[in-house]
Structure 1
Amino acid sequence: MTSTITLSQNRMVHHTVLSNGITVLVTENPSADIIAARLFLKTGSRWEPYDKAGLSHLVAAVMTKGTEEHSSLEIAERVESIGASLGTDAASDYFLLSLKTVSADFPEMLDLAGELLRSATFPEAEVELERRLTLQAIRSQQEQPFTVALDRLRQTMYGEHPYALSGLGTISTVEKLTRQDLQDYYKTYFRPDNLIISIAGRITPDQAVSQVEEILGDWKAPSTPVADLTLPIVTSNPTRNSIPQETQQSIVILGYLAPSVQSSTMADYAALKLLNTYLGNGLSSRLFVELREKRGLAYEVSAFYPTRLDTSYFVTYMGTAPGNTEIALSGLKTEVDRLCDAPLSEEEIQTAKNKLLGQYALGKQTNSQLAQIFGWYETLGLGVEFDAQFQAAIANVTPETAQEVAGRYFGSPYVSLLGPAEAIENLHLA
């Protein structure tokens, strides 16, 4: 089945589903002789058992280290000999294989990508090497105060849900991962009916679909579908964590459970994305101007609200001098509460809209960006139509709806504090 979808900015994304279940998205962009492809699989750390956290990351790290036909060195030489790029990554809600090359070499690179998808071997020596490197990375993270405080916040907010843990996993889970675990994961989720291929560049839709069909068309989907996930329900129970640590600054983080990106919560999602831009995006943001520039409280201050398949979280944070910890905590809470107590002005809302939509447009300029964003939307189950829907939803946010949404989500916060014991213990939060 094939359909053509018209998007804003005169982009046409062609959507095709092959007989074996592979979804192919093609955005023709002849302006440069480059083709980028993003191959998404509906898996990632959200699909990991809690006691195997870090599995997706390890699969991504080892997947390019050998196939039934080529060694790790041969794969690297094949990519570098034509000046192409190829990489793998694992996120919370997807697994990704990325490639970019000149148009003439795209069939060769797509063939190599198909080989990695179908016949990666996960050599034992490579698994062991990447496991050691991952453990080093986890230990390095444990020495970063902000990361420690944020990890504690996530663990408190999400409990047994996979979102509680870093994508790298933990020392205890990664130490136990085996080559067999990687192979089982690969066998379970790497299948044609779980694959979305998003291609952008100097290639026609017919050419792209034909090349995918030639390379992957004979890949048969297993008769048994991927099992449905049963994940713990995330419920709100705001608590405070204090992590005594002799640091030169205190880390102050406030967290609020926030909606997923599903269509049922689109209006709330858009309003919170806009409030995130207003609060914490850039040097003109409310938090930066009020708490750093005017009051001199912050070494660093910002906010973020990631897009997630399941319940997300809205976070504001600050790094401050230990002596200012209580004032910083109060200042962050005051700025969030302000969004609930009174509507923003029309000028404030419009400025935030202009910034958010301008940055969004700039994020869709290159072939790699186009392949990424459309493939990501399709993988999340939103469809590429979400590109236009999101922009319309942002445009429709009013000061009153933003205040109403803030009032529903910004109640009592989860709090994570890290710093010298005398600075973070027994603090008052109004």
Structure 2
Amino acid sequence: MSGSCELVLDPVTTTGVLSAKLWIRRGSSADPLGQRGGHQLLGSVLSRGCGPVDHLQLADLVEGCGAGLRCDTHEDGILISLKCRDIDADRLLPALGWMLRQPHLDEGQIELERDLSLQALQRQKEDPFHRAFDGWRHLAYGQGPYGHDPLGVGVDLEQLRKPELAVLASGLEKRGSVLALSGTIPDRALERMEQWLGHSRTESGSGDAETPIKQSPDLVSGEKPSLGLQVLPTEQVVLMLGQAALPHGHPDDLALRLLQAHLGSGMSSLLFRRLREEHGVAYDVGVHHPARAGAAPFVMHASTGVERAELSLELLIDSWSELVEDNISEVDLKLAKAKFRGQLAHGSQTTGQRAERRAQLRGLNLPDVHDQSCLNQLDQLRASDLHDAARRHLHSPQLSLCGPEATLESLEKQWSRSTFAAVAAP
């Protein structure tokens, strides 16, 4: 797989629209020690000059075709997205290869993007939600691959210059990449791959850079403190209760995704009904459980006022306890399955969504039919299967709180009396 680019074709009847997603298997989890934010900064400058064009010429090329081009860095990969007309594929798709293999890494553009990243990090520090999640992430992952926001850490970002980014750029192909095309596919797409992306470089590297992310959920969550406090002088309190759980594609992952739908999907979800409709204590609730190559977060979150924070925490703890102690009802199980089917359908409405999902699946080394396989398994899953999965993987959650100091002190005492505080403590 080293140095190779896989092609995934998804023909869809459109009026000449093509969506291309290039997934590079080098995300923020591959940031070297002391360079947290390196891959995000690299990703942001890939489109600011590459191959035979500088950043202005590339913008003219893309916008002259009425196309759209962007680059986003995630934990497990860098995603380059291009949407254009199929007749412009030969003009535009080579730019993806230039970004991957011939980035200019102009010092002026690096400085500009670094400043923008530092500003974004500063804004996050002022956001209670981001502060709470950063606190939870530190509890769950520590200094591990998922232990920092893809944007990075300010003290590391400030030190990044062209030499460091050049080293990261030289390793972009070490884990290979995936190009997914959805929509009106140009003729002979497979034969034209070399014309579009050029030759793959052969990388002979070994060691940590070549090692897939493997994080033991028990190691990640069981040997860390169970509580993190982020003091912020505000009338708002954000609570996040969760655990580093499973990689996408794990045999128990489908069960956790049904629990996610049961807890946090829509106004019929358990958390919405319990915290908003029955008790009126929270104005924002949900469950965060993204697809990851390693142990993914499974996190309940709620935002509330200081006067209702204790009841909100009590309700979150009770809701989590129910997952590991009891089966959900057959009615709730049926509803969760319907929501899961709907989520997959809604996530495949556009060519961009379809291409991104196919690139993501291949990027995580999962088969193209993974989602259909999950749908085929739904009817066999029982409430007891979800309960068993919760007991195996959600037994020691960790709590992160952000809010005013006096409220956090009260919530800390409340958490210390809970069963989970004793379980999760080192």
User: So what's the TM-score if we normalise by structure 1?
Assistant: 0.90
Segments of structure 1 that go 5 or more residues without pairing to the other structure are 1-16
The residue aligned with 1:375 is 359
The residue aligned with 1:243 is 230
Is 2:189 aligned against 1:208?
A: yes
Q: Deviations over 1:75-120 (max 9, x none)?
A: 0011001101111111001111111111111111112222222211
Q: In 1, Cα distance between the equivalents of 2:201 and 2:40?
A: 26
The residue aligned with 2:104 is 121
- 1:123-138 alignment to 2 at 5 Å? 123-138=106-121
The residue aligned with 1:139 is 122
Deviation at 1:229?
2.9
Q: Deviations over 1:110-135 (max 9, x none)?
A: 12222222211110011011111111
Is 2:138 aligned against 1:151?
A: no
SS of the equivalent of 1:149 reads: helix
Q: In 2, Cα distance between the equivalents of 1:218 and 1:49?
A: 27
Q: In 1, Cα distance between the equivalents of 2:73 and 2:231?
A: 32
The residue aligned with 2:157 is 174
The residue aligned with 1:4 is none
Is 2:220 aligned against 1:234?
A: yes
SS of the equivalent of 1:208 reads: coil
Deviation at 1:245?
2.2
- 1:203–1:245 CA distance, 2 compared to 1 (3 A): closer
Deviation at 1:228?
2.4
Deviation at 1:225?
6.0
Aligned AA (1:407): R
Q: Deviations over 1:278-314 (max 9, x none)?
A: 1011222110111111101002111111111111221
Q: In 1, Cα distance between the equivalents of 2:204 and 2:325?
A: 55
- 1:82-93 alignment to 2 at 5 Å? 82-93=65-76
User: So what's the TM-score if we normalise by structure 2?
Assistant: 0.91
Aligned AA (2:243): Y
Aligned AA (1:257): A
User: Structure 2 residue aligned with 1:288, among 272, 276, 284?
Assistant: 272
Is 2:203 aligned against 1:222?
A: yes
Aligned AA (1:329): L
* Contact 2:29 2:146 (8 Å CA) reproduced: yes
Q: In 1, Cα distance between the equivalents of 2:292 and 2:212?
A: 16
- 1:220–1:146 CA distance, 2 compared to 1 (3 A): closer
Is 2:51 aligned against 1:37?
A: no
User: Structure 1 residue aligned with 2:240, among 218, 243, 253?
Assistant: 253
Deviation at 1:411?
2.4
* Contact 2:18 2:351 (8 Å CA) reproduced: yes
User: Structure 1 residue aligned with 2:87, among 101, 104, 111?
Assistant: 104
- CA RMSD in angstroms, aligned pairs only: 2.0
SS of the equivalent of 1:134 reads: helix
User: How many residue pairs align between the two structures?
Assistant: 408
* Contact 1:39 1:197 (8 Å CA) reproduced: yes
Q: In 2, Cα distance between the equivalents of 1:20 and 1:260?
A: 24
Deviation at 1:361?
1.2
Segments of structure 2 that go 5 or more residues without pairing to the other structure are 419-426
SS of the equivalent of 1:251 reads: strand
Is 2:370 aligned against 1:389?
A: no
The residue aligned with 1:350 is 334
Identity across matched positions, percent: 30
The residue aligned with 1:72 is 55
SS of the equivalent of 1:176 reads: coil
* Contact 1:337 1:410 (8 Å CA) reproduced: no
Deviation at 1:224?
4.6
User: Structure 1 residue aligned with 2:345, among 361, 364, 385?
Assistant: 361
SS of the equivalent of 2:71 reads: strand
SS of the equivalent of 1:163 reads: coil
SS of the equivalent of 2:48 reads: coil
SS of the equivalent of 2:388 reads: helix
The residue aligned with 2:316 is 332
Q: In 2, Cα distance between the equivalents of 1:301 and 1:95?
A: 29
User: Structure 1 residue aligned with 2:42, among 33, 36, 59?
Assistant: 59
Q: Deviations over 1:147-190 (max 9, x none)?
A: 11110111011111021111101111101111111111111123
